């Protein structure tokens, strides 16, 4: 799938699958002092090193042993697309062969640059990362959900997506809203967050990070106890349980009331506002009475509703609502006292919706084989 496949060595261990503490412990068995782990992290995250030979403050013998044991090589790029005059960039990254010999796994990541004029804040660069290859949640309106689930990503594969862009410019914000369900890959997601927020890592602000979930109540509860100050977005997409089960088939065991209660507890424990994501689908979940029903369900907690006009994917039975219908839905929520906004759209012309670039590249590959 990529010319970079030949460069992979399955005998090498991804260094960033280890925590800083685990790396220091392993180096200690080599007779190395603890500060060596911090030096290595600084070169990976601050200097953008992609091989150990670049880490000149380290003794040559240590650099050689690290190169024999670990890898910090970047993920090869299969495809790149840019939009919004270069302010939005999407990359499809090659994950290489798996230990069982499977090839062809790839993952998407997106960088979005925002000027101060957009929202009155300072310049910021947000990276949207994926946590799985494909997704098992099966949401009808999601391109990734239509691909099915292949596997979880490791911490190093999640971090590699951020480093892909941080080598080009400073990353200020991070959203776990790409391919996959972050809380279904809980350990890798949290391990990546801890590397990216610690001073020896990328030193990102915890409040600049948001994890999005389709609504795994146990995972939300567990995340609320991690002692992190990260944001949480819960995908709701319907004001009633029956419609939500139709849109998200895997949500059958969870009610909206349970999700609202999980959000309330997250707010209480973390002191952070929770966002409810609501994909607007024409004539499906965008009626004014549905907006009023939604307002009744979530009223009384410190929450925000992020309305997302449907970004067309491969599903032919769903349509994007008109601007008038979007405004009417927003007005009903605001009239009911709900803090709500319509998401600023970025990258529509480059298939920025999760999973679309991977799908396009796979189709192109199959066409090439057929020819």
What is the set of domains in the chain, with CATH numbers? 3-71 (1.10.150.530), 77-367 (3.20.20.70)
Residue 315 has pLDDT above 80, yes or no: no
pLDDT of 371 = 30
Q: 99 or 126: whose pLDDT is higher?
A: 126
354 is catalytic: yes
Cα-to-chain-centroid distance, residue 265 = 23
Q: How far apart are CA 86 and CA 114, in angstroms?
A: 11
pLDDT tier, 118 (very low <50, low <70, confident <90, very high otherwise): low
Residue 4 has pLDDT above 90, yes or no: no
pLDDT at 102: 74
CA 312 – CA 47 distance, rounded (Å): 39
**Is pLDDT at 241 greater than 70 in this prediction?**
yes
| Joined tokens for residue 269 | 């424990």
Q: Considering the entire predicted model, what is its pTM?
A: 0.90
Cα 250 from Cα 352, distance rounded (Å): 24
* DSSP calls for 152-174: EPPHHHHHHHHHHHHTTS---EE
Token output for 348: 């529509």
Confidence of residue 73 (pLDDT cuts 50, 70, 90): very high
Average pLDDT, the chain: 89
Which of the following is catalytic: 128, 135, 139, 354? 354
Decide if 191 contacts 18 (C-beta within 8 A).
no
Catalytic residue among 32, 108, 157, 181: 108
Nearest CA-CA partner of 106 in 199, 1, 188, 261: 1
pLDDT higher at 320 or 146:
320
Angle value at C-alpha 188, between 24 and 186, nearest 5 degrees: 135
Residue 58 in contact with residue 40, Cβ under 8 Å? yes
- Both structure tokens of 12: 């090498």
Can you tell me the distance from the alpha carbon of 292 to that of 221, in angstroms, rounded to the nearest whole number?
A: 28
């Amino acid at each position: 799938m990529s010319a970079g496949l030949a460069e992979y060595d399955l005998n090498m261990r991804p260094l960033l699958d280890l925590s800083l503490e685990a790396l220091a412990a392993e180096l200690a068995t080599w007779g190395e002092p603890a500060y060596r782990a911090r030096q290595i992290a600084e070169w990976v995250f601050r200097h953008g090193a992609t091989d150990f030979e670049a880490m000149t403050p380290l003794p040559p013998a240590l650099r050689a042993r690290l190169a024999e044991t670990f890898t910090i090589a970047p993920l090869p790029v299969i495809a790149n697309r840019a939009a919004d005059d270069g302010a939005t960039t999407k990359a499809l990254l090659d994950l290489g062969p798996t230990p069982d010999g499977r090839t062809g796994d790839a993952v998407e990541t997106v960088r979005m640059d925002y000027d101060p004029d957009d929202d009155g804040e300072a310049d910021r660069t947000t990276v949207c990362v994926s946590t799985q290859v494909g997704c098992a949640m099966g949401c009808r309106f999601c391109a990734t959900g239509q691909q099915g689930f292949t596997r979880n990503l490791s911490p190093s594969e999640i971090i590699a997506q951020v480093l892909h862009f941080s080598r080009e410019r400073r990353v200020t914000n991070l959203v776990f809203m790409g391919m996959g369900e972050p809380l279904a890959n809980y350990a890798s997601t949290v391990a990546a967050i801890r590397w990216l927020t610690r001073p020896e890592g990328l030193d990102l602000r915890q409040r600049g990070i948001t994890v999005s979930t389709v609504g795994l109540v146990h995972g939300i509860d567990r995340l609320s106890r991690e002692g992190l100050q990260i944001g949480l977005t819960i995908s709701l997409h319907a004001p009633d349980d029956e419609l939500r089960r139709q849109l998200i088939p895997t949500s059958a065991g969870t009610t909206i009331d349970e999700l609202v209660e999980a959000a309330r507890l997250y707010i209480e424990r973390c002191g952070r506002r929770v966002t409810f994501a609501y994909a607007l689908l024409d004539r499906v979940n965008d009626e004014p009475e549905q907006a009023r029903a939604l307002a009744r369900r979530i009223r009384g907690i410190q929450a925000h509703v992020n309305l997302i006009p449907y970004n067309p994917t491969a599903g032919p039975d769903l349509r994007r609502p008109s601007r008038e219908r979007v405004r009417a839905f927003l007005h009903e929520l605001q009239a009911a006292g709900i803090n709500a906004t319509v998401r600023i759209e970025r990258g529509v012309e480059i298939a920025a919706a999760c999973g679309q670039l991977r799908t396009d590249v796979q189709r192109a590959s199959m066409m090439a084989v057929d020819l």
